[in-house]
Amino acid sequence: MDADVIIIGSGAGGGTLARALAPTGLSILILERGDYLPREQPNWEAEAVFQKHRYHTQESWQDSQGRPFRPITGYHVGGNTKFYGAAILRRRLTDFAGRQHRDGRTPEWPIRYADLAPYYDIAERWYFAHGQAGLDPTEPPRGGAFPYPPMAHEPYMARLVEQLVGLGLHPFPLPIALNRDALNPLTSPCIRCATCDGFPCLVHAKGDAEICGIEPALRHPNVRLACNERVIRLETSPSGRQIEKIRTDSTTYTARIVVLAAGAIQSAALLLASADHRAPTGLANRSDQVGRNYLCHINSACLAINPAKTNPTIFQKTIGINDFYDASGDPSYPYPLGHIQNLGKVTPSVLHAQRPHLPYALVRWIARHSVDWWLTTEDLPDPDNRVTLDPKGSIRLSWAPQNLASHERLCSHWRKLLHTLGYPFVFFERMGIEATAHQAGTLVFGGNPQTSVLNPWCQTHDIDNLYVTDASFMPSISAVNPSLTVMANAIRVAEHLKGQFAEGRVP
């Protein structure tokens, strides 16, 4: 055996699992298809990040009609947390039960909030969670305060909070994963810059899976990381019940336990690509659920412009709003709408990188007068929303978002409120299929092997030594950022694996 545990992927699920298992002394090998993201000046250049996609893959995927598109994803140590906005929210209590939406009902989870709560606590400590409990009306129970105080609002945003409260809303400090010491700003790793949301952090102050997962894990001599090792196939034993070989572009590995953490799309694609005569439709696919029920938040960016007032804010991503999370507030529409939070401040360079056809003078004026938001509505599972492979082995992603009516209602309601606050010009742009940052589903967990791929401990029903710790385990995605739940679940699975090894139940 090359290791007791091999983890495929080093993002939120893989990196956190590695850190959780590292103190056990088990031999752990992390396989990452990419390399460390280079620390260089273009980390902070909007044109390089958003227009030229310097750090994103050059791969071409296909949609359900066979039309090619370039996914906004990359392969690096730390995975896509290198680019996330670092908003880390817990799922609400209602997110674990089946919920009725306008366009359908979400399935019930095989675990409850209480099963994840202690691991949320750990994940928040590991990932520098800044926040303030007690202000969000939908907040689930907590064991105590956030590990770090909330990121302070800059003056413009503080006044906006007062205005929102005046409208009867309950804005709360958005939980953010940043290594920020407000009492010692001169020595603080985080400098509250304008190149955080969507950018890699040049000063390594973002609580990403490299800094908070892989780096602490590698301090243990029993943990190794192999970069530029793309796994292309998993091969099973004659019985089909064990992963016997992990094949990469260059070599073959073996391990007692194999953990998939390559992301909901890539993990499903790998199982499909590993089909053999015993599993002709893909490994762990007796249920025909591998790749199905792909979920991705219905997200829209929003620019609200007040021509009479400039917004000098630099670090803007400090407000969250969940007043419409569980209900619209309209008795005639008794369905959840979703979550609202700030975007990182849209600067002239960011806006021009994404809209290069606009005159720069106009771009600069818009950026100076805008306040920027991110609206999220829950996508609903649909077996036809799925990951498949074309005859050449390339990824085909079929996705028709479910629950659009609620998202449109959320945007419309938010536009009216912004008008009331003095923003006459409000623009929305909904994210398309290429925006895969909030991917989930595809290998859902559950108690029934006929309708799920994983059991409640995220072990595949069909293969005894194969586990999954990325977001593919989720049967529903909720309407808050999925990263913290992925991290917490990885710690939960690690505790289970520790017990399995200690009790001698690992093959």
Q: Of 458, 470, 269, 302, which Cα lies nearest the Cα of 371?
A: 302
d(C-alpha 421, C-alpha 304), whole Å: 10
Q: Of 441, 484, 436, 393, which Cα lies nearest the Cα of 73?
A: 436
| 439 HSE (CA, 13 A, CB side) | 36
Burial tier of 143 (Cβ tally within 10 Å: 0-12, 13-18, 19+): exposed
pTM over 0.95: yes
Q: What Rg value do the Cα atoms of the chain yield, rounded?
A: 22
Residue that is written with structure tokens 């690096």 in the block: 76
Q: Are 264 and 397 in contact (CB under 8 A)?
A: no
Per-position pLDDT tens, the chain of length 507: 999 999 999 999 999 999 999 999 999 999 999 999 999 999 999 999 999 999 999 999 999 999 999 999 999 999 999 999 999 999 999 999 999 999 999 999 999 999 999 999 999 999 999 999 999 999 999 989 999 999 999 999 999 999 999 999 999 999 999 999 998 988 999 999 999 999 999 999 999 999 999 999 999 999 999 999 999 999 999 999 999 999 999 999 999 999 999 999 999 999 999 999 999 999 999 999 999 999 999 999 999 999 999 999 999 999 999 999 999 889 999 999 999 999 999 999 999 999 999 999 999 999 999 999 999 999 999 999 999 999 999 999 999 999 999 999 999 999 999 999 999 999 999 999 999 999 999 999 999 999 999 999 999 999 999 999 999 999 999 999 999 999 999 999 999 999 999 999 998
Q: Are 346 and 303 in contact (CB under 8 A)?
A: yes
d(C-alpha 63, C-alpha 232), whole Å: 22
Residue that is written with structure tokens 């994803």 in the block: 73
Residue 198: what are its φ and ψ, rounded to 5°? 90, -15
Q: Of 460, 465, 457, 452, which Cα lies nearest the Cα of 492?
A: 457
Q: Of 143, 147, 214, which Cα lies nearest the Cα of 175?
A: 147
Work out the widest C-alpha separation in the chain, in whole angstroms.
Answer: 72
Q: For the domain 3-36+66-502, what is the CATH code? A: 3.50.50.60
> By three-state DSSP, how is residue 328 classified?
coil
For the chain, domain boundaries: 3-36+66-502
d(C-alpha 260, C-alpha 268), whole Å: 9
Q: How many other C-beta atoms are found inside a 10 Å radius of the C-beta of residue 307?
A: 12
CB-based contacts of 216, cutoff 8 Å, min separation 6: 19, 22, 126
